Each structure stands twice: as C-alpha cells, then as structure tokens.
Amino acid sequence: MKKWISVLVCLAFVLSMVAGCGGNANTSGGTNTGTSNNSGSSSSSSGSTSEDEVITLQVWHAHSDPNVIEYLQKFEETHPNIKIEQTTFVDDDYKTQSRVALSAGTTPDVWYTNTGSSLEQFVEAGGLMDITEIAEERGWTKMFDEDALKMDSVNGRLYGLPWSLYTPWMVVWANKDFFEENNLEYPVTVDDMIELAPKIRELGKEPLVFYNKDGWTGAILFGEFILQQTDGSWIDDINSGKITWTTSPEAKKAMETLKRLADANVFLTGYETMRQDTAIPVWAQGGSPLLYNGTWFTQNVGTEFDFEVEALEMLLLDENSHPKAYQNWADWCVGISPNTKHLDAAIEFLEYATAKEFWLIIGNAQGNLSPRIDANDEIEVPYYFKTEPILGQLDKPKTPFFCYAFPMPVVEVFQTQIKLVMSGQTTVDNALAAIEAEHAKYR
C-alpha cells in the first residue's frame, strides 16, 4: 500500500493532467461472447488434457469492457486445443444465476464471486476449489497485495485471485467550478449537507447524486456511518452475535442518519429507482455538483469532464467522527470450480486472466490502482484520485463492503429494510428488528 502511495506521488509530477461496483457491470446479462467446440468433452480424471484433444472452457464473468472480453478470448491463440466460452452477466443478475448453478451443480469451469460473505458461501456450497498450493507453486501469492489475497481466503486457505481494481469508496466528488461560481462552501458534515441541499435546488441542480435501486449503495452508505463510530470489528461482532442489530447504538445512529438525509430531500430525485448507469451521468453532465460514489465511477462516464473535479472526505456525522476503517477492497475473486473436468486448462486460464496485461487494460481504462503489484507503476491515475481523501485510505484498516459483510439472506433483508426506512414505509426500530430476526438464523 505504501509503495503505491509513493508511486502516485511520483506520477503527480511526471504525468500530464489526466481527466478522470464491488466491479464492472455489463449492460446485459447471460450473454455468450466466446466460441464453443466439443463443449463438455472430458479430460482425464486428473484434469490433464492431451495435445490432440480440443476442449471448451466455460468462463462466467461480469466484465463489460470489450477490451477485457477480447483479451480473455485471445487465450485461445496460445492454447489452440482450448476454446473459451465466455458468458457475461450484469453483476446483480449474476448473484441469482450463480446461486441457481450452485444448487443444480452446473457450474462453469472458471467464475467469480464477491468477497466477504459471498465468497464464504461459494466455498461452503462447493463453488470454488482450494488453490493454496497451486498459487504457491506458481508464484501467484507474490504477485498480489497481501491484503487482497486475505480477502480471497476462507479460514486461511486461498480460493481465488483478485479480479477487480481497488475502489476507495468513502468520498464525495465535487464540481469545484459550481461551488466557486456560486460562492458556496463544501459540506463537511451531514448537517452541512442538509443545510446546503435547498440552496442547490434553488439553483436548479440536484444536491447529491446517489442511487439505490438494487439496495447495495444504501448498504455501503450505512457502512460509512457505522465506521465513523467504530472500527471493522463491528462486523465480526454482529455476525457472531456478540452484539445485535437491535441493541447496537451504532446501527441505530446509521439508520437514523440515512432517514434524515432522505427526509431532507438531499438525494437525486428518483434515486429509489435508479442505478449507476443513469444516475452518475447527472453529475458528469453538470446536473448536480456532488456525487457519492467510489473511484470506479469512471467506468460509467469516462475520465474527462468540463469542470474541475475535487475529492471531498465523506460526509461526517460530526466534525470529529473521522472513519476508523474503510470499505475499500478489490471485491471480485475469480477461481476454479471443483466440478471442472479440465483442471490443467483452468489453471492456465486463471493465470492468464489475472496477468499483468489484464490489469493494465482495466486499470488504465478506469484510472484505478490494482491489487497486482507489478502493474501499478504503469497505470495512469487521474489527478483527482491523487488527493488525500483517496490516498489516505490505502494504508488504513479496511473492511468488506457492507453489501457483502453478512450472510447473503441477511444482506437482502438489510438492503430492503434500508430502502423501507428511507422511503418512510417502516420505522428504524422495526427495520433493525427485521434484520436481527433474519441474522439470528445464521449465527
């Protein structure tokens, strides 16, 4: 982490100004983008493949960048006996499809999952094989940041490799020109934002771009307010039952804060039914001076804007409530299904799919650092990412994103209850009780 900060500091002097998930999201789910030949043909029981045998390796993912899809397909050029059949998904649709595949035992050879509880459930359901020894033998563990590999592990065993960029999240992006032209000060606290919102609306703009159709953004925002009150041990304590949702003052404070912001009309009009692909452009096109989003927003709107972008620290509960930990991980983990009949081919593909060239493609496209150590000195990072609100997160304590921090059935109830609280359809106390009732089943 500290090495990357040094790299970015150097880049600040030598790079010309470059204008600017948890994950890449495709625009259509379940699309076959590869080729198939003798699909399903078997290899030997050891998973090896003879030189004359042509097999098809099924790969499921949610990378939408055509350059990534093309890169993955080019594996065939150096492995003529292996055909790659890619199926791409919208990230949210993938969660459903992967569960169906796990239940039916019809998993692809290589696929991904999110870290945190999603990875744990994938492993428990037999979705990913233990690659600890393979990674050691091939030197993979030396190529990636240690913290990222820990997130791809369960009980100290490695089940996959990182497959998405680092995405520092606890930040608000500001249109600096708007604030200067209208003689307005940046909001620091939640109270500041609530006071600022009507002034921005009077100027014909939306106060803060935020979207929550799928619920995960609300979960992450809830996590922001938890981590301003306590550190990442809160997640472990709530999962173990040491503390409960109904008795946690931090949980009540976080939920009440979401309700206050919603009631004050702070968020983008229609946020309840919007996703990032329609919400983020409102900010990028000048319709709002503020955006709540991690550093991966560039995949939706590119890196160049007609205004100067400035990174602000996430809205604080009060002036002294600076975060004690950060939601900031490469939150996709790619690995091999234990059901594969083509183990040797899957291992070769996994190495190719996480090679330095892959990280340069997505890193330079999105302007974000990667967990692949040897790639970061060749990734151009936008000027607005080279600031303390971003750099300061890289060597601080981190947690999984809150939308993956608990068992997935709990996450679903958690996200639904946040939406109900923010829309006024339930009370904070009732919402926390509903989450606790679900979570108690999994402790």
Condensed to tens digits (0 to 9), the pLDDT of residues 371-403 reads: 999 998 999 989 999 899 998 888 888 888 999
Q: Please give the angle made by the CA atoms of 79, 80 and 86, to the nearest 5 degrees.
A: 75
Q: For residues 29 and 24, what is the distance between their CA atoms, to the nearest angstrom?
A: 13
**Confidence category of residue 267, pLDDT binned at 50, 70, 90:** very high
The CATH homologous superfamily to which domain 21-166+330-381 belongs is Periplasmic binding protein-like II (3.40.190.10)
Q: Which two tokens stand for residue 361?
A: 């493609």
**Confidence category of residue 320, pLDDT binned at 50, 70, 90:** very high
What's at 243, amino acid-wise? I
Q: Where is 300: in which H helix or E strand?
A: helix 298-301
**Confidence category of residue 31, pLDDT binned at 50, 70, 90:** low
Contact of 162 with 144, CB cutoff 8 Å: yes
Q: Which comes out higher in pLDDT, residue 3 or 109?
A: 109
Q: Which two tokens stand for residue 217?
A: 């953004």
Question: Could you read off the pLDDT of 131-183 as tens digits, one per residue?
Answer: 999 999 999 999 998 888 998 999 999 999 999 998 888 999 999 999 999 99
**Confidence category of residue 367, pLDDT binned at 50, 70, 90:** confident
Q: For residues 410 and 404, what is the distance between their CA atoms, to the nearest angstrom?
A: 10
Identical fold at 21-166+330-381 and 171-327+400-442?
yes
Supply φ then ψ for residue 391, to 5 degrees. Answer: -60, -35
Domain extent listing, the chain: 21-166+330-381, 171-327+400-442
Given a cut of 60, whether residue 40 has pLDDT beyond it is no
Q: How far apart are the first and last CA of the chain?
A: 34
CATH of 171-327+400-442, one of 3.40.50.1970, 3.40.190.10, 3.20.20.120, 3.40.50.10140: 3.40.190.10
Q: Which two tokens stand for residue 78?
A: 């150096």
Contact of 385 with 298, CB cutoff 8 Å: no
Query: Rounded to 5, what percent of the chain is helix, strand, coil?
Result: 45, 15, 40
Q: Which comes out higher in pLDDT, residue 1 or 226?
A: 226
pLDDT of residue 50: 57
Q: What is the DSSP letter of 141?
A: G
